[in-house]
Amino acid sequence: NPQKPINRQLPPAVIRYAKLENLRPVRVAWDEISYVTPQLKLATKNGALLALVTMETWCHAGTVEILCNGFPVATRDFQLLKAPRHTLEIPLPTQRHAQIDFYVARTTGTANKNAWSNPVLNYEDQDPETIPQPVIVHTGDLDEIWPIWSTPQTRSNEVDVNVLNLNKNQILTLSYDFAKHPKNQRFFLSSTHQTPIKIGATPQKWWLNDPKNNPKQITQTLPDGTETNVLEFDGIDDILALPTRAMPYGPYVIECVLKPQRTDAKQVIFADLNGTAEIALDPQLNLTFTRLKDTPVATPTPLVPDTWYHIAAIYDSKRMTIAINGTIVASAPASPTTRYINSAPVFGHDGNFQSCFKGSIKAFQIKAGKHTQFDLLPQM
pLDDT of residue 373: 87
pLDDT of residue 118: 93
Q: Each residue of 287-301: pLDDT tens digit?
A: 999 998 888 999 999
Among residues 65, 66, 53, 128, the alpha carbon closest in space to that of 97 is found at 66
CA angle 301, 305, 258 (to 5 degrees): 95
Q: Which of 123, 158, 175 is the last residue of a domain?
A: 123
- Residue 313 falls within a domain, yes or no? yes
Q: Is the same domain home to 92 and 198?
A: no
Q: Each residue of 163-205: pLDDT tens digit?
A: 888 887 778 888 888 876 655 444 554 444 456 677 776 666 6
Q: Is the same domain home to 295 and 198?
A: yes
CA gap 360, 356 in Å, rounded: 12
123 in helix, strand or coil? strand
212 in helix, strand or coil? helix
Q: CATH number of the domain that 16 lies in? A: 2.60.40.10
Return phi, psi of residue 154, to 5°. Answer: -130, 165
Q: Is the same domain home to 81 and 193?
A: no
pTM score above 0.85? no
- In this structure, are residues 189 and 198 in contact, taking their beta carbons and an 8 Å threshold? no
Q: Is the same domain home to 177 and 316?
A: yes
**156 Cβ contact list (under 8 Å, min separation 6):** 139
- In this structure, are residues 325 and 307 in contact, taking their beta carbons and an 8 Å threshold? no
Q: Is the same domain home to 222 and 116?
A: no
Total of domains in the chain: 2
Residue 157 in this model has a pLDDT that exceeds 70: no
Q: Is the same domain home to 230 and 338?
A: yes
Among residues 37, 39, 81, the alpha carbon closest in space to that of 58 is found at 81
Q: Each residue of 237-290: pLDDT tens digit?
A: 888 888 777 888 889 999 999 999 999 899 999 998 777 899 999 999 999 999
Q: Each residue of 57-83: pLDDT tens digit?
A: 888 899 999 998 778 899 999 999 888
| Residue 35, domain extent | 6-123
Residue 355 in this model has a pLDDT that exceeds 80: yes
Residue 159 in this model has a pLDDT that exceeds 80: no
CA gap 202, 194 in Å, rounded: 22
Residue 97 in this model has a pLDDT that exceeds 70: no
pLDDT of residue 286: 96
DSSP string, 233-284: EESSS--EEPPTT-S-SS-EEEEEEEEE---SS-EEEEEETTSSEEEEE-TT
Q: Is the same domain home to 252 and 355?
A: yes
Q: CATH number of the domain that 246 lies in? A: 2.60.120.200
Q: What is the mean pLDDT of the chain?
A: 80
Q: Give the chain's count of helices (H) and strands (E).
A: 0, 32
CA gap 231, 361 in Å, rounded: 5
135-164: average pLDDT: 65
CA gap 305, 343 in Å, rounded: 30
